Amino acid sequence: MVIGAGVVGLATARALARAGAAVTLIEAADVLPAAGSSRGDARIRVLAAYPDDEYLELGLRAAERWRELERESGAALLRATGALSYGEGIGELTAALRRFDVPHEELGAGELARRFPAVAPPGSGPVVHQPDGAVIAADRVLEALLASARRAGVEVRERERVVAVEEGGAGAVVETERGRLEADRVAIAAGPWAPALVPWPDLAARLRPSRQVVSYFGWDGPPPPAVIEYGQPDPYAAWSPVHGLKAADHQPGPDADPDDRRAEVDRARVEATAA
């Protein structure tokens, strides 16, 4: 059983079903459009976002899975835009890319200005260009994963909120608003709702959902490369097919209740992102 039908839950349920398991996927809301952190139209895909060998290996394997899902669904899920990275630890990033023979190049200020005149990073350090950087069509991915999971035999139960998970029965007991279900194993992929479902208090106490501010800006012209600046607060920007440009800081915000949609936007964070 998998709880939560965002991108992680859908991908997990699909993979398990394709491996021969009987899988039930439970989602508190409608799967589409997403109600949790998988919502939206754009995510950045770029290798060596973290210069870690295990992460890079996973990224290279994921590239094969993305193309496989595109072939299966017949939908364009990745739009190649390239990616530009700079800032702290950029040498570690390039070293990791070299170890795995990932295409990349270091651009000086003159070459950067000639090829990407819209991007003018602060400082004088090198900028790494990765031509295989891409924007993931996030909402389209959910549609493709949901259809694929159903074809693989996943039972999808929408609009059924899980209220508790506990050990028992054949392995675990899942209590929903509709009744009690038993499963050999349960994967909790509920994003910010996970702390209320994890049956181990010590672990649940360490899971703290936070609210992050994402800003959107108008953009005219062809899709620009994704831009990532390493070093707190790790700001990034990428093309958004719907809105133009999407930008934010890659760091936790204040603690948040995922069911509270009334929280005010942090205007200071928006102004900092714009600047």
Give the pLDDT confidence of 159-171 residue by residue, as tens digits: 999 999 998 877 9
Statement: residue 49 has pLDDT above 80: no
Partner residues linked to 239 by β-bridges: 245
Enter the tokens of residue 239: 């093309």
CATH of the domain at 25: 3.50.50.60
% pLDDT > 70, the chain: 100
Give domain status of residue 96, yes or no.
Answer: no
Give domain status of residue 155, yes or no.
Answer: yes
In this prediction, residue 31 has a pLDDT band, given cuts at 50, 70 and 90, of very high
Domain count, the chain: 1
Give domain status of residue 120, yes or no.
Answer: no
Give domain status of residue 86, yes or no.
Answer: no
Give domain status of residue 28, yes or no.
Answer: yes
Buried b (16+ CB within 10 A) or exposed e, 95-133: ebbeeeebebeebeeeebeeebeebebeeeebbbbbebb
% pLDDT > 90, the chain: 84
Give domain status of residue 231, yes or no.
Answer: no
Specify the pLDDT at position 217: 96
Give domain status of residue 130, yes or no.
Answer: no
Enter the tokens of residue 212: 């992050």
CB 127 within 8 A of CB 86: yes
Could you report the per-residue pLDDT of 233-265, keeping only the tens digit for each?
899 999 999 999 999 998 888 898 998 878 788
Range of the domain at 4: 1-79+137-207
Give domain status of residue 27, yes or no.
Answer: yes
**CA atoms 162, 24, 6, 203: torsion sign:** positive
Statement: residue 130 has pLDDT above 80: yes
